[in-house]
Structure 1
Amino acid sequence: MPQPKRGRPRAFDRDQALLDAARLFWRRGYSGTSTRDLTAQLGLSTSSLYGAFGSKAELFEAAVRTYAERYREIYEQAVAAPDFRTVVERVLIDSVHEFTRPDDEHPGCLLSSAAMADSTSTLDTSAYFAELQGHNERMLRERIEQALREGELSANTDASILTGLIQSIWHGLSARANLGADRADLLATARLGHALICGGAGPSR
């Protein structure tokens, strides 16, 4: 008789495992989450955990990348909007909806959590985070410069300052979501930020 294959059970769900691991990292931080915690939460043996993800650090990196890519997509869709008001609205409003997705779909914003702050051993994750932020900011700035060329913004608007303002609001919304602010509160803040930015000329040079 052929011998049964060994390895992870057929019921293993990688996406669910990443979500469960991300929840632990979000709540306890990177250093505060042990391999034993992860195996208990994911229902895997240590060998299966290593077989699936390589190591705790690699699992953390996979979780960060999985959920961070959603923010890249938000920015990419936002800057494709036909007018600047919609660009700002989509960056802020769509991000709030992502920050506050139900717990069974999203772990919380890992990018502004304590997990990132104490993950000094995962240099690839830190580099990826910096690359992601830089990518999103460049896309946004280029779209603002386009709005300037097309006359949507006053000629004396400083694209760098306006980009920084929008990004500062975005990071503030993310941090407040991690502190437990509810969706309605965050949406109200995002809409006020949108109104203040788009209600008049952008920040001047």
Structure 2
Amino acid sequence: MERTIYNASVTERNRGRPRAFDRDRAVLDAARLFWRRGYSGTSTRTLTAALGLSTSSLYAAFGSKAGLFEEAVRTYAERYREIYQQAVAEKDIQTVIERILTDSVHEFTQPSDTHPGCLISSAVMTDSTSTLDTSAYVAELHSSNEQALLVRIERAIQDGELAAGTNAAVLTGLIQSVWHGLSVRSNVDTAREDLLATAQLAHQLICQQLTSPTS
């Protein structure tokens, strides 16, 4: 039976695949390996040993090592898109900013048995593949999230929630810069409470500036 997985047409073979194959778990375990070792540093042999799959089963399920890497990146990247979508739906802009920062910290620091770390940062900071332009995908994700935030800030200005002279692009860039800093720090094992303290202070300082008489 022919299956198309990320533009790779492969013939699925059940031989060698455990009956209780858990795709979500396999993607999580692979993502954790890629996060720790990078793409080149994670061999197919390492993946098959960690996932409990034969090489043929891994290729049948994901098309290739690159296909597995792509699925891992996309799976966890979409969590951050959802965070932004939920945040910008909030009624007031201060809550929008708070949720983007604090909800992201909670996502960055999920327990390691259920989350691989901030894979979208590590994926673009380490090596990628010749068959998958991971950097381009992650750049598109960040651009999409940034645009959603920019539109929400512009609406807050139009509604009078923010001063008419507020520079929406600069404010968006500031929030995104804080977000990226939190993401990078999460990849060097900074404790959740420390990241939350940073996020909360950044939120407080930004909101104070936005609501001050001279802003």
Alpha-carbon deviation of 1:128? Answer: 1.6
> What are structure 1's unaligned runs of at least 5 residues?
none
Does structure 2 retain, via aligned residues, the 8 Å contact 1:18–1:59?
A: yes
150-159 or 113-122, larger mean C-alpha shift: 113-122
Query: RMSD over aligned Cα, in angstroms?
Result: 1.7
**In structure 2, distance between residues paired with 1:173 and 1:116:** 15
Is 1:40 matched with 2:49? yes
Shift of residue 200 of structure 1? Answer: 2.2
What's the TM-score once normalised by structure 2's chain length?
0.88
Tell me, in whole angstroms, the C-alpha distance in 2 between the residues paired with 1:112 and 1:6.
36
Q: What does 1:52-91 correspond to in 2, within 5 Å? A: 52-91=61-100
1:114, distance to aligned residue in structure 2 (A): 5.5
Q: Which of 163, 172, 194 does residue 172 from structure 2 map onto?
A: 163
The CA deviation string for residues 114-146 of structure 1, in whole angstroms up to 9 with x for no partner, is: 565310424342222111111100000000000
| Structure 2 gap ranges (5+) | 1-13
What TM-score does the superposition give when structure 1 sets the normalisation length?
Answer: 0.93
Identity of aligned residues (%): 72
Q: How many positions carry a matched residue from both structures?
A: 200
- Cα deviations by residue, 1:143-188 (Å, 9 ceiling, x for unpaired): 0000110111111111111111000100000100000001100000
Q: How does 1:175-194 map to 2 (within 5 A)?
A: 175-194=184-203
Correspondence 1:96 to 2:105: yes
Q: C-alpha distance in 1, partners of 2:53/2:27?
A: 12
Q: Which amino acid aligns with 1:167?
A: Q
